[in-house]
Structure 1
């Protein structure tokens, strides 16, 4: 990345007949005299209230943690839990749920990415796409679900689901299966170097139809 860091976003509704439930953050902000880039995708399911709440509150909760600068990973974990607790306590209707993938760029040098669910971040370096995040899918985290008293099942022609309902093992909201899933994120820290071309965040609607490399190649055109 050169010194001029730019960002952009695009929201496209699919052909399924329901309203757009994705929300984004893409902004630059100064915090304690340090330049931050704040970027996120929140993919809502069964309603948009949870994703919309995350758009307005998750980054503020992260940056309000007193040890954000000294222990950013711990601060992010606490902020994710705090925000989920706020949702479950009824700040918004928690009938629905949402994924989250957040990226914080610090002084154009350090990138901290966190995610819950199947929204994904990739990094393109020297033309090669590298997946940064982990997709939290039931078949991959069956042990986590079962350790919390839940189960993973799969009907013919469908994807594996937690308790026969949710196709993710980590999400915000969704109080009906909350005991068997978690909002604890996986966190990844990356240094930005001369070979770093861009970071891309997207919900699963993109990744179901395009590979990481295909997506990177399209962006680079």
Structure 2
């Protein structure tokens, strides 16, 4: 696998304006695409940084209840990962990443509690996130909520994260039950449909919605020669596509064009052909793109067709 080429960090802007409604970009080793679709506002975002404590860092965010939590998490997470992973020898990479997520959530509380107090719901915005850290042959995936990371190994799905919601995840449902947190119609404490997220601060208490945590599940993957690419996406993609369908779509375009951006756009468009009810964002990280299928000679095809008629 080649070295990751330098590319700009898209996750450290201090601008708190509205998130872009439509965008795509990338280079020979990564590509992204996002769309507001039919939602009233955009709450999804991507973050791409070339160097976070020596790792290439890719992240997708899917907000709910407003865009502020997404903007804050996107702006603070790369810096906190940098700070904590630099000191990972004290606790190990997994624990360092978890502490970084906690630090981001704590930093967000001050601003989000003010937001919560003026919103009719009394609860601030929140955001889920899925992050991938790539360094040499090691891939670390950090997941909070129902964004998803899917790895393509020799044309097939080999690694996928677990969605954190009481309706999709039995372990999360059991965790909430043991805490005595109610789940009504899939909503945790009657407020949020996911069980892990940044934000979701209650204005009256200044604390998170009961049962909601921001501790990521951590997955370590050894990148092999047969590990072709990684796909990170928000649930606007997964509402329309199965994991394997998304992989097949991205793989076909990658083999034909060698363009991760084109592959990301193809996945976005394929999901939109099924549903545009939610915001969508997707990142494709190329690791070992397979060679294109050999083109059959036109004369050979005509000969084979004639032979079959005979």
Pairwise same-fold verdict (TM > 0.5): yes
Q: Show the 5 A alignment for 1:154-165.
A: 154=185, 160-165=186-191
Structure 1 52/206 Cα, relative in aligned 2: closer, same or farther at 3 Å? same
1:125 to 134, 153, 162: 153
Structure 1 100/201 Cα, relative in aligned 2: closer, same or farther at 3 Å? same
Separation of aligned partners in 2, 1:106 and 1:201: 17
1:25-45: per-residue Cα shift (whole Å, max 9, x none)? 1231264xx4x2110001111
Given the alignment of the two structures, is residue 72 of structure 1 paired with residue 93 of structure 2, yes or no? yes
1:89 to 98, 106, 110: 110
Given the alignment of the two structures, is residue 148 of structure 1 paired with residue 179 of structure 2, yes or no? yes
Question: Where does the alignment leave 5 or more consecutive residues of structure 1 unmatched?
Answer: 155-159
**Which of structures 1 and 2 has the bigger CA Rg?**
2
2:232 to 189, 201, 213: 201
Please say if residues 132 and 188 of structure 1, whose CA atoms lie closer than 8 Å, have aligned partners that are also in contact: no
Please say if residues 73 and 108 of structure 2, whose CA atoms lie closer than 8 Å, have aligned partners that are also in contact: no
Question: Where does the alignment leave 5 or more consecutive residues of structure 2 unmatched?
Answer: 5-28, 117-123, 203-207, 253-310
SS at match of 1:187: strand
Separation of aligned partners in 2, 1:43 and 1:68: 27
Please say if residues 52 and 82 of structure 2, whose CA atoms lie closer than 8 Å, have aligned partners that are also in contact: no
2:48 to 6, 16, 26: 26
Regions of 4+ moved over 2 Å: 66-70, 89-94, 146-149, 176-179
SS at match of 1:169: coil
Which residue number in structure 2 is paired with residue 103 of structure 1? 132
RMSD: 1.8
Which residue number in structure 2 is paired with residue 157 of structure 1? none
Which residue number in structure 2 is paired with residue 60 of structure 1? 79
Aligned residues: 210
Separation of aligned partners in 2, 1:197 and 1:69: 30
Separation of aligned partners in 2, 1:131 and 1:19: 31
Structure 1 30/51 Cα, relative in aligned 2: closer, same or farther at 3 Å? closer
Which residue number in structure 2 is paired with residue 13 of structure 1? 36
The TM-score with structure 1 as length reference comes to 0.88
The TM-score with structure 2 as length reference comes to 0.64
1:151-207: per-residue Cα shift (whole Å, max 9, x none)? 1121xxxxx111222110101100135232111110001011100110010000110
Higher relative helix content: 2
Separation of aligned partners in 1, 2:89 and 2:246: 33
